[in-house]
Amino acid sequence: MKSTILSILEFVSVFLLAVEAIKLENLSWLKDKSLKASDFLNPRIEFVENYTPPSTFIGRHIFRIFIAVNFLIGLAILLWVGLYFDVKIRYLPPENAADWAAVFFMLLFTPMIGGIFYTIVLKILSLAVKALTWIENSTRSGVVGIIGFLFYAIQFFAK
């Protein structure tokens, strides 16, 4: 655990030190791309008076596609966790009450797991945009370089 924390601290410190060498335009580009990804995954809802439904297939079925993708991501996470903990997956059709309960659990909680993953991705993007904005604003004063050097010193002496 200590080595993982020290590795993360080293990564952050090297990134903060490297920010001093990165052009601010490139850092702004990265922030803008992160913001565009966040806006794509979580668009703003606007209510309009004269709404005309979209004519494309994706536009008409975007909610169903979103639910299906959430279900597939949740199923993949559930199966990956099951493989990690060496859970044996029985074949369908269910034969007893335990099998039926497992199928019910998968059908009920799989979209929820996908939704939790979606929420985590959105939160990470939001925090990345906030961090990149702070770094962009603090680079000119030298605060980022000093903090990066302090983090690097801490991890260096903690080894």
Residue range 114-123: mean pLDDT, rounded: 91
Distance of alpha carbon 9 from its chain centroid, rounded? 20
70 pLDDT higher than 80 = yes
Q: What is the token pair recorded at 8? A: 């993360």
120 pLDDT higher than 90 = yes
Question: Which of 34, 52, 53 has the alpha carbon at shortest distance from 42?
Answer: 34
Q: What is the pTM of this model?
A: 0.68
Residue range 137-155: mean pLDDT, rounded: 77
Q: What pLDDT is attached to residue 79?
A: 81
C-alpha to C-alpha distance for 7 and 145, rounded to whole angstroms: 18
Question: Residue 95 has what DSSP assignment?
Answer: -
Question: Residue 51 has what DSSP assignment?
Answer: -
Q: What is the token pair recorded at 51? A: 């709404």
Q: What is the residue-averaged pLDDT of the chain?
A: 80
Contact 118, 70 (CB under 8 A): yes
61 pLDDT higher than 70 = yes
In one letter, which amino acid is 51? Y
Structure confidence by residue, pLDDT tens digits, 84-117: 777 666 656 777 777 777 778 778 888 889 999 9
74 pLDDT higher than 70 = yes
Residue with tokens 């030298």: 142
C-alpha to C-alpha distance for 48 and 120, rounded to whole angstroms: 30
Q: What pLDDT is attached to residue 72?
A: 92
